Structure 1
């Protein structure tokens, strides 16, 4: 009897030690690759670590490679993944990873109030926050009653080409905007819009910051740019107004270019990856990033009294990237 009790006690102790061993073996880390500037992402990462006790091993992009470097690294590691979560500052390269089979679905409960057109149809990524395409108007050159209210006003003939500036639509958010117009209106009308830009003799320049500077300095009356650049001009004291186009009830809204977060297929620390994604996608995190100046808008506010964004899906925009890019190259390489 005593021998049997000793065996039973031994089994119980072994079981307790096994359970304790499992607990000790549970991962307490997560690997995050991010293209979000460290000055903004570090704060969020520190808050996550403090709340959960999970250590975040973060890899930032380099200024030389930007998002492309991280994307190529994830693709190269696809058969033996190191990264758990990709937190990107845009959506095009994230969808590219989805196409490469490098992402796995995760439907975060934190994203329930994010509109579906900002999510992957297979739940491989979710978008949040972002910048808006805006028209920056010089108040010294245009009276308020002559301000544009729609992207269509930019090519309507109401303004002469020398009053207008836009970045080359083969790059950056202007390239994305071209694809969005193709997705919204169809390729024929989308291409016609940019053909009119050429025909009017609009100033086509190297980047949104240049269009911002031209509007701020009075070289042009209207610069097509992003909300972060426009906000910078306003904070610097320029006499300009930032106009969010197409905000009327029967208008399409403006293009919002969000950040995205996604789980890597075969993530070594899958449970912790889910916790990190849930944390980043919280409404409170999105609004914190707005308050900190990384985001200019909350996509949760779209259609709810906030900035009205286009409701065309990000996936649809991506479908037109190659076609619109080819057309933009033809239009603007000939023109310039």
Structure 2
């Protein structure tokens, strides 16, 4: 092989770089069935290829959080689209999120913006009770505390309390009720409840009549309602602590390998078009941008009594709450 041929071969990788497709790596805790079309629209409109790492239903948000922490010295993730808020706050507390002030977040309420513009909240849903209609209206539980009554033994179902929005709900209840009352709640609930892998499993199990009551999210519950299944959504604790509403959150990881593409993806996810699409799609997620007008088959936080929770304080209790739940639900 002559000298010119050798030089050309060595130059090929460099020459090819200029034509490489721009990419961004997204760690996505949102359900694949709801996120796929949004991601595809971003790729089509920008020409940026999105490499997605997703959660399984059984370890929602927690496994991606752990991956981001583990990879923090050499990040692989550019953008984290989380399906809840507590683990995003935990990442922020560890200094693992990049500050990104963006005009895309300007219409959102102040609470939906992390300190130093490190994360943003959008597209919320509620933690609700899904009740099979064979239970007469006058006998249906109206709050989570009611499910500790022995009459509900074997009739209640929920997802693993160590993961996803079920874990987030636990942390929030510890913050709102206090440690003593929250521990009592989960101890008294334990004999009555069956644990399934995820919230979708919970909604389907109640819809199929295998259980009477399920603790789940509105995005999974509304699908069963719209399928014509014999189920009713109850917004719990309207006379006491209120119903918990949880947003999606999005952030750029500090040291993201593709920071410019990451910024474009964050702006896209915060756009009115995406919130409207998530609201009017099957997941019926609630827009946080007040400028987004959408018809919803579920209640907004302004239409029911919403739980008042300090997510920062709830995040601070995460490790303690999880240690308690692991011990209790491993039995």
In the superposition, the TM-score normalised over structure 1's length comes to: 0.74
Match of 2:185 among 193, 206, 216: 193
> 1:321 and 1:295 mapped to 2: Cα distance?
28
Write out per-residue CA displacement over residues 267-303 of structure 1, whole angstroms, 9 at most, x where no aligned residue.
4554554343223112332121122224533345754
Aligned: 1:224 with 2:215: yes
SS at match of 2:229: coil
Give unpaired runs (5+ residues) of structure 2.
Answer: 1-17, 291-299
Aligned: 1:331 with 2:304: no
Aligned: 1:313 with 2:313: no
> 2:118 and 2:54 mapped to 1: Cα distance?
25
> 2:183 and 2:69 mapped to 1: Cα distance?
33
Match of 2:206 among 191, 199, 215: 215
Aligned: 1:203 with 2:203: no
- Superposed counterparts of 1:246-265, under 5 Å: 246-247=237-238, 251-265=240-254
CA contact (8 A) 1:82 1:267 kept: yes
> 2:225 and 2:52 mapped to 1: Cα distance?
30
Aligned: 1:110 with 2:104: yes
Equivalence for 1:7:
none
> 1:191 and 1:172 mapped to 2: Cα distance?
19
Match of 2:138 among 133, 142, 145: 145
Aligned: 1:235 with 2:229: no
Give unpaired runs (5+ residues) of structure 1.
Answer: 1-24
- Between 1:131-140 and 1:230-239, the stretch displaced more is 230-239
> 1:58 and 1:181 mapped to 2: Cα distance?
36
Equivalence for 1:98:
92
Write out per-residue CA displacement over residues 47-86 of structure 1, whole angstroms, 9 at most, x where no aligned residue.
44565xx432311115669756655665566455565433
In the superposition, the TM-score normalised over structure 2's length comes to: 0.75
Aligned: 1:88 with 2:82: yes
CA contact (8 A) 2:43 2:49 kept: no
> 2:204 and 2:80 mapped to 1: Cα distance?
33
Write out per-residue CA displacement over residues 216-254 of structure 1, whole angstroms, 9 at most, x where no aligned residue.
233433222222332233234321101122346xx4332
Higher radius of gyration, 1 or 2: 1
- Give the number of equivalent residue pairs: 300
CA contact (8 A) 1:120 1:315 kept: no
SS at match of 1:254: coil
CA contact (8 A) 2:223 2:283 kept: no
> 2:210 and 2:66 mapped to 1: Cα distance?
40
> 1:41 and 1:210 mapped to 2: Cα distance?
19
Aligned: 1:169 with 2:161: yes
Match of 1:282 among 271, 279, 283: 271
> 1:226 and 1:96 mapped to 2: Cα distance?
22
